[in-house]
Structure 1
Amino acid sequence: MLLEVKRIIVPPGQTVVLDGVSWDEFEAILEDLGESRGSRIAYDRGMLEIMTPLPEHEVNKVYLSNFVEILLEELNIEFCPLGSTTFENQSMFKGIEPDSCFYIQNEAVVRGKNRLDLTIDPPPDLALEIDITNRTHPEIYQSLGVPELWRYERGKLQILLLVNGKYVESNKSANFPDFPLIKVIPQYLTQCRTEGRNKGIKAFRSWVREQLSA
């Protein structure tokens, strides 16, 4: 299994799915792939997916993460950004690597920790997925108990909130309820891509400050 995984080449935008992968094999594959790789993984009860993102995917991921950081900074809320950290729960036989994620309400709980174990630690408060290649697995995030999941696909932002153990689509973010993010974030993502990152980021920060002073 490990030899086969080492030989697998996943072109950008493509996905490889392996079935019948045990938890021990999943752990060994993660170690074998290493932390510096460009691919993302998702594991759900024996089904392992390995995906290599497109450049478009990575660019949107960075901009969207920047927007979340600006919101938290301007609101003066402490947070812990963990990027594409691998989150696993062996008791559920599930694992996922979000495009980006943040500890917000639970920032103090995980502050200073070098390793997280979702059997004892809380999941991230917010996870982001750029769904360019139909990779998003909301059922895994749902099972792991991630309270809020953002999916950005085809120029639209979808916000999913965990309600009674199930995701429900919402017009507002639980973390940023006073901001019309579904409408505004796609506009500023487009501005970043067409007019430049700095101009778009500065414009978004100015917009956030205007909302706070209104």
Structure 2
Amino acid sequence: MVASPNELLEIIDNYDCEELTITTGVSWQKYEKLINQLSDDSFYRLSYLDGTLIILSPSRAHETIKKRIAILLETYFIQQQIPFYPLGSTTFRQKSKRGGKEPDESYCLETEKDFPDLAIEVITTSGGIGSLDIYQRLQIPEVWFWQHNSLRIYTLRDGDYQEQSQSQLLPLLDRSLFINCVQKTDISVAIQQLYSHLPS
């Protein structure tokens, strides 16, 4: 769906399920104004790159998966005694890079920073701005994409993202185990399974 910048707020009022709205020709000032207007509403996700703006209204399925990922990952951090700072869907942006993004979940590890070490995206709707292009401009060290019950991991190397079979930030996390746990509908069972396979 394509809309003019002046139609954006009217479109937002009509959301009741997951869908994407893509708008081109949006100034940085308009983007920041929209961020401020939505500051009390964490339901919508905004992505901005070179004047193109995407507004996503996540579905219940999307939010369920992203919450499972967050709970399991934070369980891992606590069990492994890894200092972490959850930043959730904070808006990260840089005017000089003409890019901005609100991940589904994000974390700083070891110390709190202006930008997260890890950003996580749950993909249930295709299309729109390439998230990696935005994260590259923001220099986010690692990005995870969950889509179709699979986890893809990208690490920033020499300014470009490279897909990895294992997290570089969390090298001891068993990727296959983590994927299996995320797929379980009972989160308590998933946590128990994760705990039982973690090194003590």
Fold shared per TM-score above 0.5: yes
- Matching residue of 1:188: 181
Are 2:145 and 1:151 aligned?
Answer: yes
Letter in 2 for 1:161: T
Mark the CA change 1:142 to 1:2 in structure 2 (over 3 Å): closer, same or farther: closer
Aligned ranges for residues 117-132 of structure 1 at < 5 Å?
121=114, 123-132=115-124
In structure 2, runs of 5+ residues without a counterpart are none
SS at match of 1:61: helix
What is the CA distance between 1:70 and its match in structure 2? 1.4
Aligned to 1:6: 9
**Aligned partners of 2:43 and 2:122: how far apart in 1?**
15
Deviation at 1:5, TM superposition (A): 2.4
8 Å CA contact retained: 1:106, 1:124:
no
Offset, 1:11: 4.0
Q: Is 1:59 the counterpart of 2:64 in the alignment?
A: yes
Contact 2:5/2:25, CA 8 A, preserved across alignment: no
The correspondence of residues 36-185 of structure 1 with structure 2, limited to 5 A, is 36-107=41-112, 110=113, 121=114, 123-134=115-126, 137-181=131-175, 183-185=176-178
Q: Decide which moves more: 3-12 or 13-22.
A: 3-12
Task: Give CA-to-partner distance per residue, 1:93-117, whole Å, 9 cap, x none.
Answer: 110000000000432xx4xxxxxxx
Cα shift readout 1:138-180 (whole Å, capped 9, x = no counterpart) = 1111111000001010010011000001110101111211232
CA RMSD in angstroms, aligned pairs only: 1.7
What's the TM-score once normalised by structure 1's chain length? 0.84
Q: Which runs of 4+ in 1 moved over 3 A?
A: none
Question: What runs of 5+ residues in structure 1 fail to find an aligned partner?
Answer: 111-120
TM-score by length of structure 2 reads 0.90
Percent same amino acid at aligned positions? 30
Moved more, 29-38 or 18-27: 29-38
Contact 2:65 2:182 in 1 (8 A): yes
2:5 and 2:23 in contact (8 A); partners too: no
Q: 1:205 aligns with which of 187, 190, 195?
A: 195
- CA contact 2:72–2:182 (8 Å) conserved in 1: no
Cα deviations by residue, 1:34-57 (Å, 9 ceiling, x for unpaired): 332411010001000001111111
**Counterpart Cα distance in 2 of 1:2 and 1:141:** 23
In 2, the alpha carbon distance for the partners of 1:12 and 1:197 equals 24
